[in-house]
Structure 1
């Protein structure tokens, strides 16, 4: 397979500690995902080589799923050890190669490039290796890196001893690889029962009829998104549900965050959404603003959207871009937006800005 050889150009140095401290711990409380876990274990433990893609919007629990799956007894028995690569700190092919060299514990050799050291090792390795490439949309969408990153992951996937798990926003896995898509499509939100169970376990609230009613009302605004549920449950340790409801009505998505100096995708819903929104031009943001005013979505959007929003040029292409970053979802031919995303877009990119831009 012909692959472009990357130049070892100077860039920020990726160390073992850089990667180690970017890896989250497996969640201690994890509800409503048994069927997905069982499906993934069955795929990964087949005799034939299979690569698994875990796809979905920010906050849906892709990282947690990957970690829980990789720590199951069946997967650990087959692979003995898995290597987790936090790709949100690895911008391109060179960064990915540096990262794999670090997690594999390989050492530089005089006169050999990084890619040669990595590929030589993988060529002679006979033990089953499981790589988790988390947040792969970062190098996949980075500037002009797509072609080299595509070649890189395709070549890694070709080694018979390697199994890949990739987590990313989007509708399909990267490159020309026969991915097994977990859940057959994107990862769904939690069921109401699983969301309620997670909330009570994390918040340690006593389950009463009054508390259940207040949480159910709040959960309608959270749309059963796992990250939002976890963050609200953490707040519920300090604030009673009545005040939490009042604060939600005042602040909406701003309340769904953990207190820290620099927000991250695992601790702040707004931060996760804004990372995706930042990839798009103003007309795509205009489209997001318009869609946020449609809580029931757009039925048969591919037939109706251009008529509803004639001011948005190439609206169908814009929709596919938004689908690719999971800012919107397609359900039964309807274009939908999860409630936390919709609430954020309503405030940040409102319809009045859209109308003003079209004058």
Structure 2
């Protein structure tokens, strides 16, 4: 198949267009077109491909050919757009679906909680109801599975992340999250709340603060708050239990519907007390053991279950006991090992905690309905223990028996951080961010394991290579907690320098410039003692940003000058490009606009070759400041428009927090004052929600001037209306407004 560069060149030549002419039509730079046709950028962003296709005036077939020549790029997204299908058949729930759908759709109560014992089918019912009523919620349906959480205060951050508002900067309160949901008719499905019931007051406050929000929750116990309407999910009746049993047994390859087995099968269904999980596990077991032998064994196990639990829970415990006993030894051991993994996991993670032969065990656990397949990430399959099964495994294999699994989890988390950390600095950044989002809870558990085992240098490595993910995807609070777990531990010079680099990076995000400079200086000294040149450069570039942002031009210049030789020999494109940004910012703040533009254009060229979206967005943001100081609004809009789309495509909260206020200022200066005020409101909300402090002085000065101008020109009432509308806008709405401002500014 022809490369993207070849197809683009062919289509442009066929239309007798120069690169400059195509660039003008597509609204991108001629350098970008040249880089694409040379093959320097092998995987352009979707918005760039669309712009090129529009600029070329392609017919459908030609457009498909151009799009098809782009190598695959992982998609990103922060909100669940498609609800997962229920696992297995949905039988005997028609009346429940009608009743709950009526409560939710008619908003009889805006907080409906499905309660019942574990394994009764609460999640299945919630998914079916949500799909039934989805068209009644113009703001969409968002599923948030909180099964991996243990801290009630982590529920709202999980909600914010699922809605596309990562939790780092909105202070973890319902009051600060509410503006994001204002005027959005959203159904929020909160699944598996029973272990975080103390979140009830926060959920209540969110519901009462957002008149257009409805919540459908599942829990083994009610939240017991006044706005709640509890709906008790009963077990299946005998008829539907039998239907489910026979269907699942048939799927497992057994024919248990013969007349001579009917009585035994009916007795089995009665013993399961109509709990779908127990029925499915029993049916799977009966296909190999036979219903008579199963009934004999199951009966004794039910009566031997924990007597302080309700009978239905004893049935699930008994079924799981029996099911585990029937597993091959390797699969049984793997189930215990996987209990240490709090979130979904890959085959590689299963091997890390379960050892050799784990993949065969994964297949066995899937067949026995003890494991479920969840959405792939970056083309790699992921699995998750059903939460009742994981809780059972944790109880059966106590902590002292899972030491090897915890060691494996720590090692896997460390390796994941190193591999994905390298990708964060290259053209695979977007895919690496998605993987690390899926691994967030596992990385935290792995960090704990490393600390527990005394592998403190490895824990510091995990932090060093993972802090950028935490910063870019709005997990600043997680980052600070992770740093705290390793703070003050005995480490080598290199380990302490690694910890300090992570700390400095998150200080940079939060705008704590003084601490950033102190920490980066200490990290440089330790890295120098350890003889780790790349670590030294990482600390130095963070120190350079700190000096620039603090207005200490001499210190910034010294850092650039003192590390030039080492930088040239390092060959690390990411660090070199960011040093170029520091150099350009320094020239900009010194008033040398030609020098700043020259250095930043060199950094832009390096960033485009690197293919790293965050790096390119940062360069474009600073270049746009140069354009604004020259009052070249069209060029500023072009650069900021690209930076905004890049950041939105990859969900890069950090760079987006700089692009939006700059673009708002451009809007004000070209006469789109209302749009500018709305973008200012959106940018302020976005930066606060993500814990980002935009402290580059040149950008701050321009934004402050343009914000005051917008307020004066609109008048306070009109300005406030636009500002509030911007604060309430979704990221998709903000992106569309940004594109419109860019188009008008370039007109």
TM-score (norm 2): 0.29
What is the CA-CA distance between 1:112 and the residue it aligns to? 5.2
- Tell me the equivalent position of 1:45: 105
Q: Which residues of 2 match residues 287-326 of structure 1 at below 5 A? A: none
What is the CA-CA distance between 1:195 and the residue it aligns to? 0.3
- Tell me the equivalent position of 1:34: 94
- Tell me the equivalent position of 2:392: 271
The alignment of Structure 1 onto Structure 2 pairs a total of residues equal to: 241
Would you say 1:156 and 2:215 are equivalent positions?
Answer: no
Deviation string 1:107-141 (CA, Å, 9 cap, x unpaired) is: 578x753446523312xx3221111122212111x
2:286 aligned to 230, 236, 245, which one? Answer: 236
Which SS does the other structure have where 2:147 is aligned? Answer: helix
Q: 1:84 to 1:107 in 2, by over 3 A?
A: closer
Q: Which residues of 2 match residues 251-270 of structure 1 at below 5 A? A: 251-252=301-302, 253=318, 254-256=321-323, 261=335, 262=338, 266=387, 268=389
For the 8 Å contact 1:44–1:52, the answer to whether it is kept is yes
Identify unmatched segments of 5+ residues in structure 2.
1-75, 303-317, 340-384, 397-747
Would you say 1:175 and 2:225 are equivalent positions?
Answer: yes
2:248 aligned to 196, 202, 220, which one? Answer: 202
- Tell me the equivalent position of 1:100: 159
Q: 1:50 to 1:150 in 2, by over 3 A?
A: closer
For the 8 Å contact 2:78–2:162, the answer to whether it is kept is no
Counterpart-to-counterpart distance in 2, 1:19 and 1:236: 40
Would you say 1:188 and 2:234 are equivalent positions?
Answer: yes
Would you say 1:113 and 2:171 are equivalent positions?
Answer: yes
Alignment RMSD:
3.3
Which SS does the other structure have where 1:216 is aligned? Answer: helix
For the 8 Å contact 2:245–2:283, the answer to whether it is kept is yes
What is the CA-CA distance between 1:47 and the residue it aligns to? 5.7
Q: 1:64 to 1:48 in 2, by over 3 A?
A: closer
Counterpart-to-counterpart distance in 2, 1:191 and 1:213: 16
What is the CA-CA distance between 1:17 and the residue it aligns to? 10
Q: 1:107 to 1:217 in 2, by over 3 A?
A: closer
For the 8 Å contact 1:87–1:134, the answer to whether it is kept is yes
Identify unmatched segments of 5+ residues in structure 1.
1-15, 141-145, 276-359
Counterpart-to-counterpart distance in 2, 1:160 and 1:19: 20
Deviation string 1:302-351 (CA, Å, 9 cap, x unpaired) is: xxxxxxxxxxxxxxxxxxxxxxxxxxxxxxxxxxxxxxxxxxxxxxxxxx
Q: 1:46 to 1:272 in 2, by over 3 A?
A: farther
| Bigger Rg over Cα | 2
- Tell me the equivalent position of 2:135: 77
Please state which structure has a larger fraction of its residues in helix: 2
Q: 1:134 to 1:246 in 2, by over 3 A?
A: same
- Tell me the equivalent position of 1:288: none
- Tell me the equivalent position of 1:65: 125
For the 8 Å contact 1:227–1:269, the answer to whether it is kept is no
Counterpart-to-counterpart distance in 1, 2:190 and 2:141: 11
1:134 aligned to 191, 213, 221, which one? Answer: 191
Higher relative contact order (CA 8 A, sep 6+): 1
Counterpart-to-counterpart distance in 2, 1:56 and 1:181: 10
Q: 1:273 to 1:130 in 2, by over 3 A?
A: farther
Counterpart-to-counterpart distance in 2, 1:232 and 1:273: 21
What is the CA-CA distance between 1:18 and the residue it aligns to? 12
Q: 1:248 to 1:269 in 2, by over 3 A?
A: farther
Which SS does the other structure have where 2:117 is aligned? Answer: coil
